[in-house]
Structure 1
Amino acid sequence: MAATNADRPLLRRLSQVYVEIPPSPLHRSRAASKHSPHVPTTTASRKENALLYPSPSQMSTVPALSSSSHKRSLDRSAEVADQPVTKKSKSNKSAASGIPQDKKLAGPSEEFPSGFAYCHQCNKKRDRAVSIYCTVKDTKGRRCGAKYCKPCLKNRYGLVLEDILGNSEEQQQLMQSDHVQGQGYIFKCPRCDDFCNCVACRKAKGLQPTGSEGNPQPHAQKATAPSAKRTRSGTIGQPSQAKHSSLQSLPKVTWTPVNLSLSLREAEERIHIREFSLRFASVLDISRTHQEELEELKPSRTRNAEEDDDALVPWVSETCVKSLILGLLSLFDVRGDNEKCLQAAIKSVRDSGANLNKIWAALANLRDRQNVLTPTPSNSRSPHFFSSLPDPLPPSESATVIRTRSGRSSVHTEGVNVGRTAQLVPVVAVLVNAAVETEAVREEIEAGIQKGKERARDAREAYRLENERFNQATGHQKAKDKKARMEHHKHIMADIDGVLKVSLSAYTHRISPLGRDTEGRIYWALTPGLIEREAALDRLRSYSQGRSRQSSSKVRRRPLVPSEEDRRALKKWSWFLAVWGTRPSISESIIDPGSEDDVTEDGEDEKRWWGFWDPDEITKLVAWMHSRSGLGNFGTGSDGRDLDDDSSKCDSDGTLDGRAHDTSLELSASPTRDELESFLVEVERYATLLKCRMRTDEEIV
């Protein structure tokens, strides 16, 4: 046992071998470790990694250090503990001026000498020298954090960075209350101005991004613009540049002002009266002459010059108003005392002799009696609405009142003196709204559905006969005549499609505008007139019977298509696309120099009526709206001859929506993508139909 215990120090010496590791020149401990087994220095007589035997003092510390791995871990922890701990200062997050600093605003580097920031538009890292920060403060005094780079400002919004930085001192003083001070410039970003078209802002409004789904070129162009020097194949930037050039090369649309001072609601009342009387002329028993008067919302010829200068826009003649009121009153089917009151009013209007005061006196008496009588319970459509008839519009200031012995007693005691037919427009509009629910109108709608199906069958037969004729002629014609024959065949097929749509407009049962664009403009397209409908029906029957010409039994007294001068004057509303709203900026639009109404360049924010009488200008308008709404490239597709779509208009069970109400409440303030696409298709189809209607007088052999 003694020998065994004596050999233990020797075995311990042999099992514990130490290697001298030189200290790192970068780190030096503040105090030498007491338990360090290393020899602090080396000598020339001993190699660096020579085996060393522990000294007696070191041997006494061996039990404290159980293993070499434990020693190394202690040495590492000691070195880490000796290093000074550095913390990121939080005081540099806000500058002395109170302007918030973004974490992304890093310091200078080789790529970004002035530091960098992320653009709100393209979300790319940009140099701070070519970026600008919004200076607008919110209600709590905090600065907007949006930043825009120079390329996005120019390409997306047409803004020049140098112009913004060079704001005058007067402008800065006027706007400094809403902006951060001490920046040397004033800038309200597109996001604060609510017209930012970046992906996030458009998505928040429910719109699709402008650079997605077939139209990524504008967004790709801005992403590749800073790295143009690193192009590899030379094709990265070409598609975006081509798209950008196509957007810039869009022609300016010519906006022609309509010489009409009616508001949207006032004009829509006259539009609904015109469309209702034209659609149900057979049950209203209105003459052709009175139908032609309703083609113009404002007559081109007035009786005197005073009517042109009045604030009250002239309307139709007195006999036309009398015919309208008599036809509308005759549609109501009532019983009992209500029937007696209604028949008395009809007799008074018929005996009025086109005296407007007498006509209104009869309607006012009917309204007063309805306030006393109880509506018939058995008939839900009794004319109790007469009690809510509005008063006529007040006469104009320049109107002269002429009282005669016969007319003195005809004026209603509590009524307004009615000297112009325009004063009765609200009264007739209410009668039209009520007549929509009558049984006679509903029966006419059902009859129109069957007639529409007959017109669709005639068109199918006309297509079949024309295709057979073309196929037979193709086998016997020479090669040089094939192109001319093909053009002639396409012309006839397009004419059949056009006359079908015009004839189907006689059976429409819904009256509403085409739609609304992204900037709130409302678009109206009135249906063709009575004479044009009859001519289209006659031409469709001729095609279905194998004749390319219309029958010679009816000789036209006047051409169906107005002259270019008349169409440019924008008198007949069925021959142009009517738009209510503001005109675009001068850089995107042109005012027709030949228009009768004087419009200055400064009146861009004024809402009024505009007209597009040229189909080519309407096509340009559709292309412009495609570009502004971000729906992608505009390509004029073929309208096609989908007879199922045309006949479906007559097969639906919808009711006539002919009420003269506020369209701005019916249409959504911001149309969805589907609504916008459908609206642009309708405008494009109207341009195609208008071009076909203008060729009606051409002879097709």
Structure 2
Amino acid sequence: MSMRSVAARAEPSSRPRNRPEVFVLVPRSPYSEGIGTRTANDFRNPPTPLRVHNMQSAASTPVTMKRKRSEEPPNETESRVSAPEMMTKRRKVSAADAKTQGATRATHIVASNATPEFPNGFFYCHQCNKKRDAALGLYCTFNNKTSNLLARCRAKYCRPCLKNRYGQDSDEIKVRGINGTSKEIAGHDKTQGYIFKCPRCSGNCNCRGCRKAMGLEPTGNLTIAAKKTGVNSVAVMLDGNAKMTGILPGKGRQIPDPPKKPKAPKPSRAPDAAVVLKPKRSINRQAKPLPKVTWTPLPVPPSFTLERALPRIAIREFALRFNRLLDMSRAHLEELEEIGGRRPHEVDDADSDSEQDIDVEMGWISEICLRAILLGLLNILSDSQVEFGGKQGKKAIQDAIQEIKASRANLTRIWGALASLRAEFEKVDKRLTFPDPLSPPQHTKIRTTRSGALNGAGVNVATTAQLVPVVLPLIEMVLDTQAVHDELEEGVKEAKERAKEEKERAKAIREQWDSKKKNGKLDKATRAEYNRSLSALEQAQRVALHAHALRFSPLGIDHEGRTYFALTPSVAERDAAAALLAGDTSKGGKAHGRAIVSADERQAMRRWGWFVAVWGQKPADGLVPTSEEDSDEESDDDSTTDVERWWGLWQADEIRKLADWIAIKNGFVGGEQPTERGVEDEPGVPTGAGSNGSRSGVQSSHLTPLSDASDTEDEAISGDGPGAGNAQTRVDEDGRVIPTQNELRALVRALREYVEVLDWRAWRMEEEPGVEGKENDVAKKTKADIRTVSPANFYGR
């Protein structure tokens, strides 16, 4: 071993060892465009600073250097190792990968709103507002704000609209590009590769929105008209006349039909000699004879006019409709049936010195019934204190209620309480008032006591008829309360339930009928029962709908000015109809006991809910029934026939004759028959049933006088029905309203529907054969079952 080698080993280890120099070629970063290929001396340049997230990760995680260092001074090497840039390990991307990624990114650009139907994206055309392909339209490049160059117009137009409406070719605009004079290019965005100033920016846009902003109507379809005239586009036509319009969508047929050319007559063929033509028999259609209707005078004097009867009818209908709010008994509601009063003797005009006293002379309801009506109205007003004077008004109403309860049906004390209430109302609101009662009848003996003193009211009240003008204003006040509004809304819901129940019951009956048809068990009795069941369901629904109706009105006015009324059925009949719809055939079947209204009672025509009441003169061809007590001269008296008064028709056949008489007089015989619900030639399907439309809801049937919606009114609105040209109100020489053809048809339909309901109601009042009634669930014996006993058998032999 030489001394040199030994000396070399003996040298201290602090001397740096000589290592071979190794150069590592680092590829170019794909994120830098200006950096070229690295050389051996590039490592002396300061490295690119790292992002913040990379610096945090490099400081937290130690990374060892895997590169071999070159010969450098120790301090420089240590500083480079300690630098955060050298401690970060980043993935290197080659130049080839960078080129591949760039090429892929350029060829696969997909629009953000691309869909399978529109792969290039879509836009909505400013003109037609339709979704169009983005490649088949033009974007406006005009900057509509000079202060902001980026505020470009956002209007887009499709190719068809530019061609048809403005005469511009989108392809030519794209091919032209941005070539043009500096004046043409100024103010345009050049990123689209073309320049295009839309019609909206040019001020000649004829779309619906722009024309509306200018106060013009939509143009409609003018494309066909433009092609026929030979102009280039619609815009050219509008330049000459800006108000020009074409065919508007949704307005129906707007192009008149061309005049029909007369057809040339065909040459007549000569008949063959072998064929012998028989002469056709001429059919002479005879006009339907005009029926003779019997007009029965009601048991009220002629001076009891329409104006005097309307308040009583209104009170009766209000009490029946809002009975749940008034909380009146059925006995009190039955008294309201007799509109003409409950006086036991007949009242004639000669009984009173003045016609103003006829209401008082006829009488009205009992004192207890009137007391129940007033208490019900005041209780509703008391619950609605916000509308009627707040706490002060509520206290006045409660005091009046207590006074009426303590009056013991004394009419003078009742009026005294109402007079005090009126005085309190006038302090709060002068609109809340009502008039004084009518004067008492003449020659009336009034017994005055200390408890029934006048209380300063100044009027003696002897009969309930004097307070009719007082009850009506109270009803008007109650109609404005929230309780009545809630009751009406609840009635609409219940009416829908009744219609649903009727459909379900009718469906069950039809299914039962179909099963019997399959079994072959079809006799006359089965068919009759099937017909009766379906008809009863429909009539029951019509009766039940009266409890949920919105208003009351007459049936109508005929061509000669007579007014027709059909008052609604009683509460007992409405409950029976509702029970039948619910499936209870025992309660919804025949009436029993006191609920039965006999034929004699109906013939007497004191219950106004059982006949059609007519106000006016008897027709010239009408008949008047003669009684045994009246002579022939009295029956032909002019005072009975030529004077306006109340007439009644209580028999179903007479009401049918009346409907036919009105139809024939006005020239639409048979045109307003109620439509049948069954199928033709189907055995057992009921005939004469009402139309389906009459069963859809509260206001769907004109049978209900409180309903004012009908098929004829729809015809009057649309103008399609016959007589639509007579829709305007006409007045005769006396100032009476002349009804239109549609109103007359509605009257005929209402009368025929009322007859169907009246038949079912009369059937319910028929007693069971062989049984007159029951007492303690024991059937009574008829007169035929009771035999006389001879004296010999009674006393014995």
TM-score band, normalised by the shorter chain?
0.5 to 0.7
Which letter maps to 1:353? Answer: R
CA distance in 1 between counterparts of 2:396 and 2:767 reads 55
- Map residues 83-122 of structure 1 onto 2, 5 A cutoff: none
Count of aligned residue pairs for this structure pair:
435
Q: Percent same amino acid among aligned pairs?
A: 35
1:525 is aligned to 2:560: no
Task: Return the offset for 1:650.
Answer: 5.6
1:92 maps to: none
CA pair 569-440 structure 1, distance change in 2 beyond 3 A: same
1:565 is aligned to 2:600: yes
1:385 maps to: 431
Q: Deviations over 1:453-495 (max 9, x none)?
A: 11111101111110011111112235xx444432321111111
- SS of the equivalent of 1:330 reads helix
2:299 maps to: 259
1:281 aligned to 323, 326, 331, which one? 323
CA distance in 2 between counterparts of 1:508 and 1:609 reads 26
CA pair 483-692 structure 1, distance change in 2 beyond 3 A: same
Which letter maps to 1:314? Answer: G
1:495 maps to: 536
2:483 maps to: 440
1:628 aligned to 665, 682, 686, which one? 665
Which letter maps to 2:485? Answer: R
1:36 maps to: none
The 8 Å contact of residues 474 and 482 in structure 1, kept in 2 or not, is answered as: no
2:111 maps to: none
CA pair 655-361 structure 1, distance change in 2 beyond 3 A: farther
CA distance in 1 between counterparts of 2:638 and 2:531 reads 46
The 8 Å contact of residues 554 and 566 in structure 2, kept in 1 or not, is answered as: yes
- Map residues 377-526 of structure 1 onto 2, 5 A cutoff: 384-387=430-433, 389-408=434-453, 411-477=454-520, 481-526=522-567
Deviates more, 1:331-340 or 1:596-605: 596-605
CA pair 685-551 structure 1, distance change in 2 beyond 3 A: closer
CA distance in 2 between counterparts of 1:682 and 1:315 reads 29
Q: Deviations over 1:633-669 (max 9, x none)?
A: 56744454555533332699x99899xxxxx99x971
1:364 aligned to 404, 414, 419, which one? 419
The 8 Å contact of residues 258 and 610 in structure 1, kept in 2 or not, is answered as: yes
1:592 is aligned to 2:625: yes
Task: Return the offset for 1:395.
Answer: 1.1
Greater gyration radius: 2
Q: Deviations over 1:80-120 (max 9, x none)?
A: xxxxxxxxxxxxxxxxxxxxxxxxxxxxxxxxxxxxxxxxx
- Structure 2 unpaired stretches of 5+: 1-277, 353-357, 676-687, 709-729, 770-797
CA distance in 2 between counterparts of 1:509 and 1:401 reads 42
- SS of the equivalent of 2:431 reads helix
- Map residues 527-676 of structure 1 onto 2, 5 A cutoff: 527-542=568-583, 549-550=586-587, 556-560=592-596, 562-585=597-620, 588-594=621-627, 600-603=636-639, 604-633=641-670, 636-638=673-675, 640=689, 642=691, 644-649=693-698, 669-676=737-744
Task: Return the offset for 1:571.
Answer: 0.8
Task: Return the offset for 1:341.
Answer: 2.0
Root-mean-square deviation over aligned CA pairs: 3.4
Which letter maps to 2:461? Answer: V
The 8 Å contact of residues 674 and 752 in structure 2, kept in 1 or not, is answered as: no
CA distance in 2 between counterparts of 1:559 and 1:298 reads 21
CA distance in 1 between counterparts of 2:741 and 2:556 reads 12
CA distance in 2 between counterparts of 1:595 and 1:634 reads 40
CA distance in 2 between counterparts of 1:329 and 1:441 reads 13
CA distance in 1 between counterparts of 2:694 and 2:666 reads 27
Which letter maps to 1:565? Answer: D
CA distance in 1 between counterparts of 2:410 and 2:657 reads 48
2:161 maps to: none
CA distance in 1 between counterparts of 2:615 and 2:349 reads 24
- SS of the equivalent of 1:336 reads helix
Q: Deviations over 1:517-546 (max 9, x none)?
A: 011100000110011111121222226xxx
- SS of the equivalent of 2:647 reads strand
TM-score (normalised: structure 2)? 0.51
Deviates more, 1:323-332 or 1:309-318: 309-318
- SS of the equivalent of 1:506 reads helix
The 8 Å contact of residues 488 and 550 in structure 2, kept in 1 or not, is answered as: yes
Task: Return the offset for 1:697.
Answer: 4.3
Task: Return the offset for 1:319.
Answer: 0.8
TM-score (normalised: structure 1)? 0.57
The 8 Å contact of residues 626 and 635 in structure 2, kept in 1 or not, is answered as: no
- Structure 1 unpaired stretches of 5+: 1-231, 376-383, 659-663
2:763 aligned to 685, 695, 701, which one? 695
Q: Deviations over 1:289-341 (max 9, x none)?
A: 11111111134454999999553211001111111111111112121322222
2:116 maps to: none
CA pair 292-551 structure 1, distance change in 2 beyond 3 A: closer
CA distance in 2 between counterparts of 1:319 and 1:484 reads 49
CA pair 668-472 structure 1, distance change in 2 beyond 3 A: farther
- SS of the equivalent of 1:528 reads coil
CA distance in 1 between counterparts of 2:658 and 2:637 reads 19
2:371 maps to: 322
The 8 Å contact of residues 449 and 650 in structure 1, kept in 2 or not, is answered as: no
The 8 Å contact of residues 295 and 572 in structure 1, kept in 2 or not, is answered as: yes
Which letter maps to 1:631? Answer: F
1:250 aligned to 287, 290, 304, which one? 290
- SS of the equivalent of 2:606 reads coil
- SS of the equivalent of 1:494 reads helix
CA distance in 2 between counterparts of 1:650 and 1:250 reads 33
- Map residues 307-318 of structure 1 onto 2, 5 A cutoff: 309=351, 311=358, 312-318=361-367
Q: Deviations over 1:233-261 (max 9, x none)?
A: 7977823xx12xx3xx3331000100113
The 8 Å contact of residues 257 and 599 in structure 1, kept in 2 or not, is answered as: no
1:291 maps to: 333
Which letter maps to 1:558? Answer: R
